[in-house]
Amino acid sequence: MALRYDAGEVITAMVTPFNSKREVDYDKAEQLTKYLIAHGSDAILVAGTTGEGPTLTHEEEFELLSTVKRAAVNNAKVIMNAGSNSTETAVMAAKWAQKENVDAILSVVPYYNKPSQQGMIEHFSAIAQSVDIPIIIYNIPGRTGVNMLPETVAALAEKYSNIVAIKQSFGDMDAITEMKICCPSDFSVYSGDDSLTLPMMSLGARGVVSVASHIFGSEIKSMIRNYKTGEFLAAVNMHKKLYPAFRKLFMAPNPVPVKAALARKGLIEDFVRRPLVELSPIEKKELFMVLDEFDED
């Protein structure tokens, strides 16, 4: 059966490059977008957590989105982060994203407020009723303080055809199974954690919203393709090979480690906005040692 909306297998939650003044470097953003597409990314997520969206101004988000859309034209889909813990603000963000002709939006379960399951349903219902573009729900209990249950996901997916997928950043494999059982067959599940991509795919997930694809995009794409074509051993071997790097890229708050890795490759400068701080020299040495081990294999 055809999917409601197909964002592809590898969605990269793109970092936002900054210069030494911690201003957005739009030239680097354009170059990075093209690099990611050339290395396995089917879609680019703009201004998410990895993109340090909470520290971007609206004007920066607009210019960044315009830059990524120009760079990705006809080669990858562009998804905009449009979530908030305020339903009214999330609706406004969704409407703005639709006006800017994005391919889809990502909208997180409200954080800090700790809504009930019914509160989540009303929040996402308001967003779904306000726009026509595809909506990917983002469930990340570690950041929001609450977990969206599979039956809540199913209720929304059944009622709203533009709620097309979920990014699940929670290592509960039973929840994935329950979603695949109770959600419509054309609704997609994406892993929100690189290390859980293959395990979730074994239960029917479509792919991953990835951070590691900044560095290992082609390898992640190969792992997914091998799994889908029945080359299971090759997929498992690639997962095992990538696993230490997957873990080390989250040794500090995202996107601090991946920005250090990208800077080492010369793709961006190594700057994040406060309250995040860059890796220490000792931490960088530890990270790069693991990345170098991958290259030596």
- Catalytic residue numbers? 138, 167
R_g of the chain computed on alpha carbons: 18
> What is the separation, in whole angstroms, between the first and last Cα of the chain?
39
Q: Is the distance from CB of 18 to CB of 24 less than 8 angstroms?
A: yes
Which residue type, as a one-letter code, is found at position 222? S
Tell me which residue of 197, 243, 247, 191 sits closest to 224, measured CA to CA. 197
Helix, strand or coil, per DSSP, at residue 79: strand
d(CA 204, CA 120): 24
Instruction: Quote the tokens at residue 183.
Output: 């959600």
Q: Which residues of 138-168 are buried (b: 16+ CB within 10 A; e: fewer)?
A: bbbeeebebbbebebbbbbbeeeebbbbbbb
Sign of the alpha-carbon dihedral angle for 37, 43, 46, 51: negative
d(CA 90, CA 62): 16
Those residues whose C-beta lies under 8 Å from the C-beta of residue 212, and which sit 6 or more positions away, are 194, 220, 242, 245, 246, 249, 258
Tell me which residue of 247, 231, 236, 248 sits closest to 286, measured CA to CA. 248
Cα angle: 160, vertex 86, 45; to 5 degrees: 65
